[in-house]
């Protein structure tokens, strides 16, 4: 599939701490989620082709806000706060869970979720809980196994097969691929997936 969306024109829209500050619940949103340091910001930057779009950070867990980016007037990418960072105080973790749960449960324009996992540490508890939950709510979820360049081709393929097998019970709502922000392996596949979601359904204009 040819990329038809103007990813390179993606702009930072706003950063919100509360769901009430989100833009109107219309158009299409695709959200990105994952453990801190899994490579979510790098994936967003690579997919849009914009290096500095989502701040990549060596200090995981720093951002507890929901960051929104507009691809065009009706399509947004949503960077949900990273989870699973041990040094985050319990109260913040709890707030994260409440905010993200509520976003995922209540956001009508959410068309799909990109779940980012480090290919070397896939399927941690929180990842599995999320998949369990999104599959039960029939929110399409696409797993990016990031940092694929850190493994040999064969190791990466083995991990992909293992994860695919583990996610088989969730059926058509969950898919998985290898991805590398470093060598851009899997970029077209990831964009194709996003595009399916962004172009699906009726938009108002
Ligand atoms: P986030 O916390 O999930 O947003 O993770 P970041 O995107 O900030 O990435 C965390 C660290 O992993 C940074 O040092 C990135 O440079 C590195 N990283 C992210 N993606 C890749 C990748 O595909 N390959 C390699 N080798 N490093 C990556």
pLDDT at 101: 86
CB 149 less than 6 A from any atom of ligand 1: yes
Residues 118-156: tens digit of each pLDDT:
999 999 988 998 999 899 888 999 999 999 999 999 999
| 5 touches 198 (CB < 8 A) | yes
pLDDT at 3: 62
pTM, rounded to two decimals? 0.92
Closest C-alpha to ligand 1, atom 20: 39
Cα 34 → chain centroid: 7
* Strand (E) or helix (H) holding 13: strand 11-16
Closest C-alpha to ligand 1, atom 19: 39
CB 110 less than 6 A from any atom of ligand 1: no
- Alpha-helix runs per DSSP H in the chain: 40-48, 90-106, 125-136, 153-167, 187-199
pLDDT at 59: 43
Substitution candidate for ligand 1 out of 31, 39, 77, 143 with most atoms within 8 A of CB: 39
Query: What residues are paired with 121 via a beta bridge?
Result: none
């Amino acid at each position: 599939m040819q990329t038809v969306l103007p990813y390179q024109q993606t702009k930072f829209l706003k950063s919100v701490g509360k769901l009430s500050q989100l833009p109107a619940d219309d158009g299409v949103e695709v959200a990105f989620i994952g453990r801190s340091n899994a490579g979510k910001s790098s994936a967003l930057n690579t997919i849009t082709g914009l290096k500095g779009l989502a701040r990549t950070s060596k200090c995981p867990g720093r951002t507890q806000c929901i960051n929104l980016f507009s691809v065009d007037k009706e399509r947004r990418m949503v960077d949900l706060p990273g989870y699973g960072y041990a040094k985050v105080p319990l109260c913040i973790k709890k707030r994260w869970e409440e905010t993200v749960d509520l976003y995922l449960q209540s956001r009508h324009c959410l068309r799909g979720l990109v779940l980012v996992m480090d290919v070397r540490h896939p399927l941690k508890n929180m990842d599995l809980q999320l998949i369990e939950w999104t599959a039960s709510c029939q929110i399409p979820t696409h797993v990016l196994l990031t940092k694929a360049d850190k493994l040999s081709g064969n190791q990466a393929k083995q991990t992909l097969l293992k994860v695919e097998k583990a996610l088989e019970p969730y059926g058509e709502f969950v898919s998985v691929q290898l991805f590398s922000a470093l060598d851009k392996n899997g970029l077209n596949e990831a964009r194709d997936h996003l595009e399916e979601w962004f172009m699906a359904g009726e938009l108002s204009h």
